[in-house]
Amino acid sequence: MTETTNIVRLRQPDTIDDPLTDILRAGARQLLAQAIEIEAEAYLASMRELKLPDGRERLVRHGHGPERTIQTGIGPVAVSRVKIRDRGAAGEDRLRFSSAILPKWARRTRSLDALLPILYLRGLSTGDFQEALAALLGTDAPNLSPSVVTRLT
């Protein structure tokens, strides 16, 4: 099959090509994966004394869960959680690993969950985007003067 060389792909209006944001997302993905791995290893280390009757460890790593996307302040970041299996008990005696960094059903960061109502109530209803953007970018963020916010809106 021959490939046509005279077709030029145009940038879609809803996509933004920002290499800096792509680098930040890749770095965030790596840091998040490392933090989750360290958290799982610390949990396993704290439970090393639990053994099965035959001497094997009761808790073992059991791979990773499916990759999912978490909405963050820099956009979507793909992550997968560590799975730990309890080989010694069933039912209510079973030990379960629950990550404090990445809860099992989380789809957004807590800061975004708190920010969305602020953005709506303060930004859209009152037109006070400066306070809403300060919640997103921080109070020390440069370029949040009233004239910049007016220009953005």
Residue 102 CB neighbours (<10 A): 20
**What is the predicted pLDDT for the residue at 70?**
85
The pLDDT value given to residue 118: 67
Q: What is the chain's pLDDT, residue by residue, as a tens digit (153 residues)?
A: 566 677 776 666 556 667 888 898 899 899 999 999 999 999 999 999 988 889 899 899 989 988 988 888 777 888 898 999 988 877 778 888 888 888 888 788 877 777 667 666 666 667 666 666 666 666 665 555 667 666 655
What letter would DSSP give residue 5? S
Chain centre to alpha carbon of residue 69: 7
Q: Please give the model's pTM, rounded to 2 decimal places.
A: 0.66
Q: Which of 33, 30, 45, 29 shows the shortest CA–CA distance to 97?
A: 45
The predicted structure's pLDDT at residue 71? 82
pLDDT at residue 35, rounded to an integer: 94
